[in-house]
């Protein structure tokens, strides 16, 4: 059996089982957006790492190195945000071909610095190695949070409302256009989609507000697509979910493009990935107030898109005409050759 046959998430589970049980200072180990590690009686460290690999995550000829620096750090910041934490320290490891122009590295670090400084993140070191084929940027990020404000994937309960920040499907539209420039897309929307693809906005401030409010029951960031990441949250929480197409924060231009490029107006919103929005759950009597508090504090839209169901019920996607279909799976999986993979 190969890793392509079992897929990314089954591989992670196998790796977890190969390791010893975590020590007493590990609050949460493998299996969430971040590892949660004891700092003292009141605070925890949040540890995460994410890599950008040429040919898998980006095409060097198609992205500005400044944007790549922004994105490489942003995807890690999003993980810390998804736990309600404050990002603090980063280590950057680079795999570089010998013939890479020095200007590329200067642009990359310009983007890293611009992403880090407003949030008070210090880049404190890393590693550099030569590579023969393609380059990569691997970042380890350490954040912190009060222990009672950390939000994990595992706390959603039946009846909770499902909420999401921002909009969905835009980055995936940008990726689709990059891979096939002949596709038709409104010019104004194409510009927005490219920005969402190349320079995502991690919702750090929103994540900290959600954690501090102590009314969210579970949270995850949307890197693998709404369907896939909601599936991860439901799996960890041992629940199911119902979402409503009419409630999804999706631009009309995205729906039109998705229908043309993918044959389904909801495909990019559900399965596209790289939104880096926050998906979270909250009890029905607290969800609306929490959404409004975030909107007032940050100006960012927060939308209620569905509800958590009892375990054992099939996931439901309710179309605008009332018809219900399934939506499970189909998110981004780095290795799977049998699941509904989104080709980037």
Spans of all domains in the chain? 32-149, 153-325
- pLDDT of 328: 66
pLDDT of residue 340: 34
pLDDT at residue 8, rounded to an integer: 82
Q: Note down pLDDT in tens along the chain; length 344 residues.
A: 898 888 888 898 899 899 998 999 999 998 888 999 999 999 999 999 999 999 989 999 999 999 999 999 999 999 999 999 999 999 999 999 999 999 999 999 999 999 999 999 999 999 999 999 899 999 999 999 999 999 999 999 999 999 999 999 999 999 999 999 999 999 999 999 999 999 999 999 999 999 999 999 999 999 999 999 999 999 999 999 999 999 999 999 999 999 999 999 999 999 999 999 999 999 999 999 999 999 999 999 999 999 999 999 999 999 999 999 987 655 544 444 333 333 33
CA atoms of 248 and 269, how far apart (whole Å): 8
What is the per-residue pLDDT for 32? 81
**DSSP state, 312?**
T
Residue 277: partners with Cβ closer than 8 Å, 6 or more residues away: 164, 165, 166, 167, 168, 203, 221, 222
* Whole-angstrom distance, CA of residue 67 vs CA of residue 69: 5
| DSSP codes joined into one string, 36-105 | EEE-SSSEEEEEEEEEEEBTTTB-GGGS-HHHHHHHHHHHHHHHHHTTT-EEEEEEEEEEE-TT--HHHH
Assigned CATH for 153-325: 3.90.650.10
Question: How far apart are the two ends of the chain, measured CA to CA in Å?
Answer: 25
The CA distance from 19 to 288, in Å, is 42
CA dist., res. 330 & res. 316, Å (int): 14
Say which residues have a Cβ less than 8 Å from residue 133's Cβ, sequence separation at least 6. 97
Structural tokens at position 179: 């891979």
- Give the pLDDT of residue 344: 34
Q: How many CA atoms lie within 13 A of 134 on its CB side?
A: 11
Q: How many Cβ atoms sit within 10 Å of the Cβ of residue 258? A: 24
Could you name the CATH architecture of 32-149? Answer: 2-Layer Sandwich (3.30)
């Amino acid at each position: 059996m190969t890793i392509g046959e079992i897929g990314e998430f089954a591989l992670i589970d196998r790796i977890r089982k190969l390791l010893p049980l975590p020590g007493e200072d590990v609050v949460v180990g493998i299996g969430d957006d971040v590892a949660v590690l004891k700092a003292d009686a009141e605070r925890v460290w949040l540890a995460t790492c994410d890599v950008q690999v040429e040919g898998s995550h980006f095409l060097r000829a198609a992205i500005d190195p400044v944007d790549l620096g922004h994105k490489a750090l942003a995807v890690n910041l999003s993980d810390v945000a998804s736990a309600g934490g404050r990002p603090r320290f980063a280590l950057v490891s680079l795999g570089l071909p010998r013939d890479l122009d020095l200007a590329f590295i200067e642009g990359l670090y310009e983007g890293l610095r611009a992403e880090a400084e407003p949030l008070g993140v210090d880049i404190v070191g890393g590693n550099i190695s030569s590579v023969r084929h393609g380059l990569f940027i691997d970042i380890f990020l350490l954040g912190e949070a009060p222990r009672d404000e950390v939000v994990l994937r595992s706390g959603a309960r039946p009846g909770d409302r499902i909420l999401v920040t921002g909009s969905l499907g835009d980055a995936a539209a940008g990726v689709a256009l990059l891979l096939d420039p002949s596709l038709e897309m409104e010019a104004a929307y194409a510009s927005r989609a490219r920005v969402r693809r190349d320079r995502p906005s991690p919702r750090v401030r929103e994540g900290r507000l959600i954690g501090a409010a102590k009314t969210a029951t579970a949270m995850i960031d949307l890197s693998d697509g709404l369907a896939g990441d909601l599936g991860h949250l439901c799996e960890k929480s041992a629940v199911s979910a119902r979402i409503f197409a009419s409630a999804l924060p999706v631009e009309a231009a995205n729906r039109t493009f998705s229908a043309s490029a993918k044959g389904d107006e909801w495909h990019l919103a559900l399965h596209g990935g790289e939104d880096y929005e926050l998906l979270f759950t909250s009890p029905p009597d607290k969800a609306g107030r929490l959404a409004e508090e975030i909107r007032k504090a940050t100006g960012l839209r927060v939308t209620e898109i569905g509800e958590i169901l009892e375990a054992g019920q099939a996931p439901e996607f309710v179309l605008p005409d009332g018809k219900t279909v399934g939506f499970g799976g189909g998110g981004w999986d780095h290795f799977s050759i049998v699941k509904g993979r989104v080709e980037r």
